[in-house]
Amino acid sequence: MSDFIPVLELDLLMAESSQLVTVKGCGILLCQSGGEVFAVDPICTHQRESLAGGRIRRGHVSCPLHGARFNLRTGEPVGQLTRVPLKTYEVQVESGVIAIKVE
Ligand code: FES
């Protein structure tokens, strides 16, 4: 069964930034870019580096280690370093609270 689980107040997620949260024991990276909130797996699919702290810009997150970029909406990578997308999660914002849908 899938449910939306409240994870963070929207006010705590700054524009063009990210925050790592733990939901049901799994790390998920919340990102805000262009006024939208996204949720993706926090581990780069190139060489398993954490994406927490990676630059958020124009709907993408950049890996701090080698710079692979991933589309926050689709998880798809940009460039040649990896062809494996990040897992993405559905996001809902209600009453100033970010909730994500997890299995
Ligand atoms: S580990 Fe992320 S780009 Fe290499």
Q: What spacing in Å lies between the alpha carbon of 2 and ligand 1's midpoint?
A: 30
**Global pTM exceeds 0.85:** yes
Q: What spacing in Å lies between the alpha carbon of 38 and ligand 1's midpoint?
A: 20
Region of poorest pLDDT, from 1-10, 50-59, 93-102: 1-10
- Domain residues for 29? 3-102
Tens digits of residue pLDDT in 64-93: 999 999 999 999 999 999 999 999 999 999
Q: Which residues line ligand 1 (CB under 6 A)?
A: 44, 46-47, 49, 63, 65-68, 81
Instruction: Give the 3-state secondary structure of the chain.
Output: CCEEEEEEEHHHCCCCEEEEEEECCEEEEEEEECCEEEEECCECCCCCCECCCCCEECCEEECCCCCCEEECCCCCEECCCCCCCCCEECEEEECCEEEEEEC
Structural domains of the chain, count: 1
The domain spanning residue 34 has which CATH number?
Answer: 2.102.10.10
